[in-house]
Structures are given as C-alpha cells and as structure tokens.
Amino acid sequence: GEQVEQRPPHLSVREGDSAFIICTYTDSATAYFYWYKQEPGAGLQLLMSVFSNVDRKEEQGLTVLLNKKDKRLSLNLTAAHPGDSAVYFCAVSGPNTNKVVFGTGTRLQVLP
C-alpha cells in the first residue's frame, strides 16, 4: 500500500524566515495531495489541496510544489510568524479510493 515519508520531524526557524517541509510517496497513481495544520489540542485543518495536474500552487504565504516524477510533495512557508507554530502533515489519496494516507508530521516552531 501507499507509504508516505515526511521530513524533517522537527523544524525551528526565526520569525520572517522560510520553513520547508517535504514528503515522498510511493504510489505513482496517487492523484490528490493535501497539507494539513494541527494546532495544540485540536484536530487537523486543511491548508491546501492540489490535484496531480498541478505542479505549483501558492496561497497566502504558502507554496506547494509537486514533483510527480520523483513522487515528492513540498510545502514552503514564506516569512513564517509565531502563529505558524504547529504540526504540519502531508496527506495523499489515489484516484479511485477514499482512503487518505498521512505523513508522520513536522513540528514547526517559529521563534520571535
């Protein structure tokens, strides 16, 4: 079945710096890609979603890159601020399934 690896597990950046998180997946048929954010004591909330025909998507200081050849998905937070401190998860699903597989998470700390 699908395997998703995410790194780094922990990331600490200064306010105003960029934070970069990367995921790799195994199934070339994977069609849908997601980034979620989890704040302390809460469930996950969707940040962005992309379909497999999109290589790059930008929204509100977030950039998602998809490299289907290398089966790699990345999230870049530009100009991070302390409110971005949270755990970030990538997630993927196939074209004919409702099963969503998550990465292992990245705990991001943005220092003032």
Q: Which residues bind another protein (CB under 8 A)?
A: 1, 6, 9, 31-32, 34, 36, 41-46, 49, 51, 89, 91, 93, 95-105
**Choice between 17 and 65, CB closer to another protein:** 65
Instruction: Provide the token pair at 19.
Output: 């934070």
**Choice between 1 and 112, CB closer to another protein:** 1
Question: Least CB distance from residue 8 to another protein, whole Å?
Answer: 13
